[in-house]
Amino acid sequence: MAMTLVGVIGGGLAIIHATETDWLTSLRLSRLGIDAGASGILNATLVALGLTLVALAISLEGTFASLRSAGRLSSRANRLLRIGFIGAGVAAGLAGVFRNDGQLPHLIHNLAGFATPIVLIATVLGGRLAVGDLGRRFDRLSIAILVVSLGLFVAAYAGHLMPYAVMELICFVLIGALLWLFEARLQGVIGQL
């Protein structure tokens, strides 16, 4: 929840403070990182998101320990989940530290920016496989979130049917929802042990 709030509020404030006014048709959130009015807000938001993801990894340790003692999670899977959440946090933070200007900073920013949602989704899906059954509802909602996110990306990128920045914000909320669902289902599994 904290990650979604930080991302939506920070992204929204960055859009509002952007000096480029044509954000509805052409602006991407990454470009806000070099916009004179928005760069500080967006880059601080990305660093805060990175720290939030690292905090999530730390907060999930008790949950993972309970799942390990019940035989629902191996030590190796626990390590990989921790690495996944921390890796996504580091990637988000790097996207904020390295502005989208200059050749090397641009490369690092873009790699880190694209790596963050990919690592998060892979971590949640890997966690689902490692823990086992998290319920049909979780599986259906996860698939729906992934399909909608992919559809929005295609609509914004290929067809320009929606503003790219709006798609990024919606997908951010959807990935936040997926993380919330994952954590809630893990707690549900622990409650049944």
Per-residue DSSP letters for 48-69?
HHHHHHHHHHHHTHHHHHHHHH
Q: What is the pLDDT of residues 80-137, one digit of tens each?
A: 999 999 999 999 999 889 877 778 888 898 889 889 989 999 999 999 999 988 889 9
pTM of the model: 0.84
State which residues form the domain around 187: 2-192
Tally of domains within the chain:
1
Instruction: Look over the chain and give the mean of its residue pLDDT values, rounded to a whole number.
Output: 85
- In one-letter notation, the amino acid at residue 193 is L
pLDDT digits (tens, 9 = 90+) for 138-188: 999 999 999 998 888 888 877 667 777 778 778 888 888 899 999 999 998
